[in-house]
Amino acid sequence: MEFENRSNSTSIAENVPFRYPEYLQLIVGIIGVIGNALVFILVAKVKFLQTTPNLFVASLAMTDLLASLLILAKLVYMTYPVPDYFHMTLYCKVVLSDVFFWMTAISSVFILIGVTIDRFCAIVYPFRYQASFTNAKAYILIVLAWMLAIVFVLFIPFVYEYQNGKCLQDFNNRTHQVVTGIGFFLFTYIFPMIFMVFAYTKMFKVICNASSDVQSQSSAISSRVRILKMLTTVVVVFFICWSPNQWMYFLLSTFEVRVDFYSTYYETTVLMCLGNSCINPFIYALKSRQFYEGFRTLVGCTNTIDHVDGI
């Protein structure tokens, strides 16, 4: 995603005033910081929220919090001229390349895969899950998600060059650009989406069969359904927000289909990507009774309790 990298056409030593899209991004960033910080604090402070699925939720909230902070940081440093004492090549490669924002975006994908694996094992293989899956393994999946994200973005600083006062994306050759674009599109979008569609379809089928066969466990099944519906909403919203930009930037531009990166449509796809970082807290608030009760407990509206059934 080309996060308003106007340095491609403007000297990075110039002062660039805000436009209408930047004000929207500012609002998105502020909401994202507040909402995701609250979610992370809730999981950290409220005992009955400290479940394995919520470890992934808290990790996703932290990732979205970092992404929101990076949105705000970008709006600040794109508005003011770069000080003369900055090493311009390094500034171009590390800051204007958006490598850290991409790291958070890709880690979100892999964390969603992690929570999908967790829920898939819990629902499809419940006895094996209860016997072997621990919070320590959840942490391993979360750390692995971040490590993979770091690996995937290592190349980004190397394809940005500071030339004639501008920060430009410069692949070594056409083959490098095509392989990179297709690889990113497949491994951070298509393959994860296929896996998650398969996994959630399988989980809903298993739960539907269980609900018809074991009426005595209706409470537990209802709880699993609520968890699954919330996580499915998070996954669906993620792919809705990222799909237009992924198709336009990584696929169409890779095959040299002309894309106007300053069009209203493209700027809308950018805002959708950024907006995903602030949407999840609203999903938790609307879909999760646990998080609602957790907030009430945190602010002292209810007595502290150890558990709330369902989610």
> What digits encode the pLDDT tens for the residues 162-201?
887 788 888 877 788 888 888 888 898 999 999 999 999 9
pTM score, two decimals? Answer: 0.84
Q: Kindly report the average pLDDT of the chain as a whole number.
A: 81
The percent helix, strand, coil of the chain (3-state, each to 5) is 75, 5, 20
Examine the pLDDT at 80 and tell me if it is beyond 90: no
CA distance 71 to 80: 15
Mean pLDDT of 23-30: 90
**Residue 7: per-residue pLDDT:** 41
- Residue 220, class by beta-carbon neighbours within 10 Å (0-12 exposed, 13-18 middle, 19+ buried)? middle
Tokens 């992370």 map to which residue? Answer: 40
**Residue 207: per-residue pLDDT:** 85
Structure tokens at 41: 């604090």
Determine contact, residues 137/86, Cβ cutoff 8 Å.
no
Cα–Cα distances in angstroms (integers) from residue 10 to residues 4, 48, 83, 125, in the given order: 11, 51, 16, 55
Burial 77-114 (b: 16+ CB within 10 A, else e): ebeeebeeeeebeebbbebbbbbbbbbbbbbbbbbbbb
Mean pLDDT of 274-300: 83
Give the pLDDT band of residue 28 (cuts 50, 70, 90).
very high
Give the pLDDT band of residue 305 (cuts 50, 70, 90).
very low
**Residue 18: per-residue pLDDT:** 66
**Residue 238: per-residue pLDDT:** 92
**118 against 220, higher pLDDT:** 118
C-beta neighbour count of 304 within 10 angstroms: 10
Residue spans of the domains in the chain: they are 6-298
Please report, rounded to a whole number, the percentage of residues in the chain having pLDDT higher than 70: 80
Examine the pLDDT at 2 and tell me if it is beyond 60: no
Q: Return the DSSP state at 81.
A: P
Examine the pLDDT at 41 and tell me if it is beyond 90: yes
CA distance 229 to 211: 15
Give the pLDDT band of residue 306 (cuts 50, 70, 90).
very low
Examine the pLDDT at 79 and tell me if it is beyond 80: no
Mean pLDDT of 104-116: 93
**Residue 218: per-residue pLDDT:** 60
Give the pLDDT band of residue 74 (cuts 50, 70, 90).
confident
Using only the alpha carbons of the chain, give its radius of gyration.
21
CA 176 from centroid of its chain's CA atoms: 26
Q: Which of 176-190, 195-209, 212-226 has the lowest mean pLDDT?
A: 212-226
Angle between helices 264-287 and 218-245 (to 10 degrees): 170
DSSP state letters, 129-188: HHHH--HHHHHHHHHHHHHHHHHHHTTGGGGEEEETTEEEE--SSHHHHHHHHHHHHIII
Examine the pLDDT at 214 and tell me if it is beyond 60: no
Task: Return the CATH architecture of domain 6-298.
Answer: Up-down Bundle (1.20)
Single-letter residue type at 206: V
Q: At residue 175, what are phi and psi to the nearest 5 degrees? A: -60, -45
